[in-house]
Every structure is written in structure tokens, then in C-alpha cells.
Amino acid sequence: ARKVNDVEVENLKHLCGLVENCIDKWIRFDLDEDR
């Protein structure tokens, strides 16, 4: 699964919203292990 700060990403628009609205100091991207 692809996640940003432990939130599963639904699509590209959702990803943009997660990044733009992040108030944390760091952003963690969890990507598929096989890529």
C-alpha cells in the first residue's frame, strides 16, 4: 500500500491534499516494497 503519514493514498488528488495540508514537521512516504 502507498501511504503518507500512515494515511492510505486513494489517488493523486488525495495525495496532493495530504501533502498540501500537512502540519507536521516531516512527511513520511511509505511506498510499495517491490518498486
| One-character DSSP codes across 1-33 | --EETTEE--SHHHHHHHHHT--SS---EE--T
pLDDT interval class at 32 (50, 70, 90): confident
The single residue listed with the C-alpha cell 510499495 is: 32
CA distance 17 to 33: 24
> Is-contact 30 7, C-beta < 8 A?
no
Q: Give this prediction's pTM.
A: 0.75
Structure-model confidence comparison of residues 27 and 34, the more confident one: 27
Q: Mind listing the pLDDT tens digit for each residue in 8-30?
A: 999 999 999 999 999 999 999 99
